Amino acid sequence: MDVTSTCWTLLVSFIFSIMSADQENITAESGQNVTLTCRAPNIKNDLVEWSRADLGDEYVLFYRDDLSVSDHQHQSFKNRVDLQDRQMKDGDVSLVLMNVTINDTGTYKCRVPLDKTHSSNPISIIFLSVVDPPAPPGGATEDGDGVGRRHHGRLIASVLCLVVIIVVFFKIFHHYCDPL
């Protein structure tokens, strides 16, 4: 196998690994209950952390010894979150977020630390986007096309971002792997 073929194989493998990582995008309407899925096979304790980067040291949910621990839980999540299955059967540590609002938009991370003193890498990373419910049929929204236009804008931005990533990695691999 020549250098160019190897580089192409590495590039394609890298792109597929990015796209198949345990990451998920969820869109929900305000007022809905949302389940953020996370599975931790071989869970050895009953310690689960759900966090969001923009909350600093506060948690969305910290679950230990069969209880939700409210110390260091962000105020906006108190009485609105719970595990889907408190027995964590089959490693299910999915989070149920009730009555979502626009302020719940963000990137959520699920961790299952090895013990009470050590953190771990996220098992699941989920980007939740909360939008206002669509206007009733025949009703106009603030900006004319409203929600639909925002969705198209996000889709276009996502596709452009993916294209930029592919082009950048192509150039890097081409630069380092070009046999001259």
pLDDT (tens digit per residue) in 74-100: 999 999 999 998 888 888 999 999 999
Least confident range of 13-17, 54-58, 116-120, 170-174: 13-17
Does the model's pTM come out above 0.85? no
Residues 167 and 84 occupy one common structural domain: no
Q: Give domain status of residue 17, yes or no.
A: no
DSSP character at residue 2: -
Q: Give domain status of residue 138, yes or no.
A: no
Q: Give domain status of residue 37, yes or no.
A: yes
pLDDT (tens digit per residue) in 4-27: 554 445 444 444 434 434 689 999
Residues 60 and 104 occupy one common structural domain: yes
pLDDT (tens digit per residue) in 123-141: 899 999 999 988 888 755 4
Cβ–Cβ under 8 Å, residues 74 and 68: no
Q: What is the mean pLDDT of residues 89-117?
A: 89
CATH assignment of the domain containing 80: 2.60.40.10
Q: How far apart are CA 71 and CA 61, in angstroms?
A: 10
- How far is residue 94 from each of residues 29, 47, 112, 129, 130, measured CA to CA in Å? 19, 13, 11, 17, 18
Residues 87 and 129 occupy one common structural domain: yes
